[in-house]
Structure 1
Amino acid sequence: MSSIPGSVEGEDVELDMSTDGFQWQDHKTQSTVAVKDSQIVSILPDQNKDKPGYTILFVNRRIENGESDSQKEISYLSSVFAQNLPEEILSRHLYSHSPAHLDASLHVIVSTASGTGKGKAVFEELLRPFLAHIKKTDYQLHETQSDQHIIDLARSVFLPKAKEGVSQTILLLSGDGGLLDIVQVFFDEFEDERLLAIPNICLVPTGTGNAMANSIGLFSDSTLGLKNIIQGKPLHLPTFKATFSPRAEYITDEGRKHSPINPAIKPGASHPQIHGAVVASWGVHAAIVADSDTAEYRKYGVDRFKMAAKECLYPSDGSGPHVYRGTIDLTYTNGLDGNERIHTLDDTEHMYVLATMVSELEQGFTISPSSKPLDGRLRLVHFGPQSPENAMNLMTLAYQNGKHVNEDPVKYEEFDKMKITFNEELEKWRRVCIDGKIVAVEKDGWVEIRREDRFLLNLVTNVFNK
């Protein structure tokens, strides 16, 4: 460990540097303040002629009292000045130049309703001061006013500018739903051969599950995606297309209403379509997402999924978990000649049917251990009817680096297209989840999920640099 002169809020301190971070003695509180390397967002050269050195930006946390004597943890951006720094730490964190995607037209979207509603606090405490430090203050701020706001922005701003060739980068403070909204508009309403300028999206995860953010490694450090904004590179975002039978509709307003999937379906496109980038599911997973999508459940953050899972597997009426009925056809494409082979599963009774392009659905919940970031491959996770105890054990194994895929009841494989034909009387058992959005399929209806060949959006990630 080496000691380096520095200052915190104008007070001179000695910074004890190590490979794992640094620490100093706070003279006011007579306590040691430690900052881990994973908390460091960036190191900025300080050009002050009288006192040259470096400003270390890092994410800190404080505890604040909330309502009814509750406490909540607030993440905020903090800084320390150091006169010099070891080359080892500079090589990992030095901000030497602005990445190209930050020199584009910048938009910041704050989804005010995502997750537990912390998006605005993350912007004020973390993102706004961070952008000020790196001198990126010329951006348009959009705070969502409704669940249609991001869709309206994509339709009226992002897509037209992309067609005109304007380079755009969207800093998205949201969960997976906000990303899906942008994906849906671009694939729904773009008809030409190619975009002149593909927009870049930087995720700052503020949702509940944050599957995409977890799967591209944004939680591998403690900067909530800030480090990724400057160290990441734009890569094509793979997507899939879910095509439904004609009368399928979104379920909205906590299950009380239905709304059209494609309000203005193009001539000749008689089937509703949704584009996603994370997951398509039917059965227990879709039921858990749908049942927990209420204001009451959302108060519990990610725990809402576990609470809904318990009710799904152990219904309060004692009836036991539902057996889902339907036919599943899987299509595989031969990479050499392009020929397709269709396989119909022998099982017509199901419990868990999930197609995914990502590895994690929430932090630590590794649903598809073979999936790599943005590899564009669709994989199926499936098992038939199980006792509540067996089903819960399989889900628990997913928290152990995806060990559930090695269990006998689980079918886990890559595919190119999947068609589910439903054989259920009640709508409750015909709900499909696409990236957190819930669709009700009509009686005897179907859904087909397949990979999309086009790339209309980029996602900024630094997972390949680690």
Structure 2
Amino acid sequence: MSTKPSDISGDTSQPDVGNTIGSVKAEEIIFISRQPGASNLYDIFSLKEETGDQEPTFRLFQSSDAGIPQPLLDEFLIEGLPDYLKSSPSRRIHAVVSTGSGTGLALNFYNEVVRRLLPGREAYPSDPTINSVEISKPNPHDLVVTQSAHSVREFAREISRADEDAVQHTVVLLSGDGGVIEMLNGQVSVEGHDSEERLPLIVILPLGTGNALFHSLHKSAGATSRFPAPSSLVQGLRTLFNGRAAALPSFKVEFSPGSRIITYKSPDSSSDSVEEVEGHADAVSHLYGAIVASYGFHSQLVWESDTPEYRKHGSKRFGMVAQQLLKESHAYNAIVELSGKDGSNVQKLDRDRHAYILATMVSNLEKTFTISPASKPLDRKLRLVHFGAVSGEKTMEIMTQAYNDGKHIGMKWTTEDGKEEGVGYDDTSVVKITTLEEDARWRKVCIDGTIVELPQGGSITIRTEDRPRFRVVVDKSLVR
């Protein structure tokens, strides 16, 4: 016995036999659950994503079937909710919707999909509106809809206060990488937690532009599966309901005095010039990150593509800005030093002109852009990718090879004066970058998407953290 997925209309596709349940494709399945009191009757939850010229749409479906092949059950059957999604006096569940992430699809995805899947879904209206940073609390999960760039950080501060130590938190984060860094930097302290198990737990649903952390954590997900690969959002939902908790590796970045966070604000007129949209935040002494700290081409690209006008183009904005930066091919004047955690074994790169300096704890900056092929999910290692001043054509060649499964690592070439150069790739615990640039335009560094302007002669020091600040839910294959 089977039923058609509820709310399906106009689905006439004919998927491959063996990879479907009725009209539901295996790559669309979020999970399968056993119906209460029925040993062989199952509910199948699936997601259909429709894209085209219009804004993407998301449609959640539920169907029932008694004849599900065993391989599909082995892959997708869950026996109830995981403990981290069970609300109780000692466990609070939060859905945090970052309305500014990516192209602004997070709230729609929450309303159409996540709201209907999380416990307590009947308690929510179809279009929640919140006038400020506040939490609505119909048991058993809370909802936070961001209203400013600081909303996630303020939320993180709230749940990490000392009087909440007795309560564990699961945060379903509908966001891009920026939401993760806001959580890291909003946390008041980790000192009050007596074990990793009591740290707040983040579940990432990838609704940003690059989603570097999500794609890196899920790089090996489904590697042994016989079924077609799902979309990133289906994979995120699968991890939400059938994942495992693990410590999130992170690093701390310290800035020299005079450094300040730089943000763009919406222009008051039709002009999108930097002068009209640039805004300056307070001085910053340090930030925490989990993905990347960069100086040079990468940080410049993130900064100059982050205007409100460019953000409307989603990930395409990077290519648009990259073309201009490649024409300029600026050589960044800086001193780069690597060392051990205790400051020992200091090594200085043998150049002071650079095109690319990027320290990372992840493998991918985008789903298909492998910046650090040796990085493995949760391996807690910091790696530095770097190369000297080259032409725009050579930079493009190197970046293209990064899209070729990280083949840029190991590239060599000979300069006009006969010197051999190449892409450097180093394991390290500490990286210090001191800028010697006079023009403020070339003194921007990027920490997980946050842009910091250094003073002339200023520096950043990146070091891995020994103690995690959060836990993160990952694919079940990573934690046994």
8 Å contact kept, 2:248–2:471: yes
How far apart are residue 243 of structure 1 and its match? 0.5
Task: Specify whether residues 177 and 344 from structure 1 end up closer, same or farther in structure 2 by C-alpha distance, changes over 3 A only.
Answer: same
Distance in 2 of aligned mates of 1:216 and 1:304: 24
Q: Which ranges of 4 or more aligned residues in structure 1 deviate by more than 4 Å?
A: 15-20, 132-137
TM-superposed deviation, 1:134? 9.3
Pair 134,252 (structure 1): closer, same or farther in 2 beyond 3 Å: closer
Give 1:323's aligned residue: 331
Assess, with a 3 A threshold, how the Cα gap between structure 1 residues 162 and 427 changes in structure 2: closer, same or farther: farther
Q: Following TM superposition, by how much is the alpha carbon of 1:261 offset from its aligned partner in structure 2, in angstroms?
A: 4.5
Equivalent position of 2:432 in the other structure: 419
Whole-angstrom distance in 2 between the partners of 1:369 and 1:238: 17
Within 5 Å, give how 1:25-104 maps onto structure 2: 33=23, 35-47=24-36, 53-62=41-50, 70-103=53-86, 104=91
Aligned AA (2:252): K
1:154 is the counterpart of 2:156 = yes
The reply to whether residue 341 of structure 1 matches residue 345 of structure 2 is yes
Between the aligned partners of 2:110 and 2:140, the Cα distance in structure 1 is 15
- Name the CA shift for 1:465/1:283 in 2 (closer, same or farther; >3 Å): closer
Q: 1:259 to 1:20 in 2, by over 3 A?
A: farther
- In the alignment, the residues of structure 2 paired with residue 89 and residue 135 of structure 1 have an alpha-carbon distance, to the nearest angstrom, of 29
User: Is residue 4 of structure 2 the alignment partner of residue 7 of structure 1?
Assistant: yes
Q: 1:168: which partner in 2?
A: 169
Shift of 1:5: 4.0
User: Aligned runs of 1:229-240 on 2, under 5 Å?
Assistant: 229-240=240-251
Q: In structure 1, what is the Cα distance between the partners aligned to 2:70 and 2:25?
A: 17
CA distance in 2 between counterparts of 1:415 and 1:73 reads 41
- CA 1:110/1:429 → structure 2, altered by over 3 Å: closer, same or farther? same
Question: 1:137-148, aligned counterparts within 5 Å?
Answer: 138-148=140-150
**Equivalent of residue 362 in structure 1, options 349, 355, 366:** 366
The one-letter amino acid paired with 1:211 is A
The change in CA–CA distance for 1:116 and 1:85 in structure 2 (over 3 A counts) is same
The change in CA–CA distance for 1:91 and 1:134 in structure 2 (over 3 A counts) is: farther
- Give TM-score scaled by structure 1 length: 0.85
Residue 130 in structure 1 maps to residue 117 in structure 2: yes
Q: For 1:310, what is the secondary structure of its paired residue?
A: helix
Q: Is the 8 A contact 1:251 1:259 kept in 2?
A: yes
Q: Residue 45 and residue 23 in structure 1: after superposition, are their counterparts in 2 closer, same or farther (change >3 A)?
A: closer
Amino acid at match of 1:47: P
Letter in 1 for 2:4: S
Structure 1 pair 177/239, CA: closer, same or farther in 2 (3 Å)? Answer: same
- Cα 1:135–1:331, aligned 2, differ >3 Å: closer, same or farther? farther
TM-score normalized by structure 2?
0.83
**What displacement does 1:135 show?**
9.3
More displaced 10-residue stretch of structure 1: 121-130 or 175-184? 121-130
Which amino acid letter does the alignment assign opposite residue 406 of structure 1?
G
Flag the 1:370–1:87 CA change in 2: closer, same or farther, 3 A. same
Q: Does 1:109 align with 2:113?
A: no
- Which amino acid in the other structure matches residue 377 of structure 1? K
Residue 86 of structure 1 deviates from its aligned partner by 1.9
Given residue 452 of structure 2, which amino acid in structure 1 is its aligned partner? V
Deviations 1:212-231 (A, max 9, x none): 01111188632051110111
Contact 1:216 1:463 in 2 (8 A): no
Q: Deviations over 1:282-304 (max 9, x none)?
A: 00000000001111111111111
1:395-414 equivalences under 5 Å are 395-408=399-412, 409-414=422-427
Partner of 1:235, secondary structure, is strand
1:47 offset after TM fit, Å? 3.0
Secondary structure of the 1:146 match is coil
C-alpha contact (below 8 Å) 2:165/2:193 kept by paired residues: no
Alignment partner of 1:290 is 2:312: no
Change (3 A) 1:167 1:20: farther
Counterpart in the other structure of 2:416: none
1:302 aligns with 315
What percent identity do the matched residue pairs reach? 35
Q: In structure 2, give the amino acid aligned to 1:422.
A: T
Read off the aligned partner of 1:131 and give its amino acid letter: L
- 8 Å Cα contact 1:228-1:461 kept in structure 2: yes
**Matches of 2:364 and 2:337, distance apart in 1:** 25
What is the distance in 2 between the residues matched to 1:151 and 1:464?
30
- Alignment of 1:121 with 2:122, yes or no, is no
| SS of residue paired to 1:72 | coil
Distance 2:336 2:15 in 1: 57
Amino acid at match of 1:332: G
- Distance in 2 of aligned mates of 1:89 and 1:259: 51
Alignment of 1:251-266 (within 5 A): 251-254=262-265, 256-262=278-284
Whole-angstrom CA distance in 1 between matches of 2:281 and 2:395: 32
Instruction: Report which of the two has the higher share of strand.
Output: 1
CA contact (8 A) 1:6 1:83 kept: no
Separation in 1, partners of 2:292, 2:147:
26
2-side partners of 1:161 and 1:142: how far apart?
A: 21
Question: Is this contact kept in 2: 1:19–1:89, CA < 8 A?
Answer: no
* Residues 224 and 162 of structure 1, relative CA distance in 2, 3 Å threshold: farther
CA shift at 1:20, angstroms? 5.1
The amino acid across from 2:294 in the alignment is S
Q: Which runs of 5+ in 1 are unaligned?
A: 25-32, 65-69, 263-271, 315-319
- Structure 1 Cα separation of the partners of residues 190 and 5 of structure 2: 54
Residue-pair matches, total: 425
Q: Secondary structure at the match of 1:371?
A: coil
**Alpha-carbon displacement from aligned partner over 1:116-152 (angstroms, at most 9, x marks no partner):** 0000111112211222599996111110011111111
Q: Which of 202, 221, 224 is the matching residue for 2:230?
A: 221
CA contact (8 A) 2:31 2:44 kept: yes
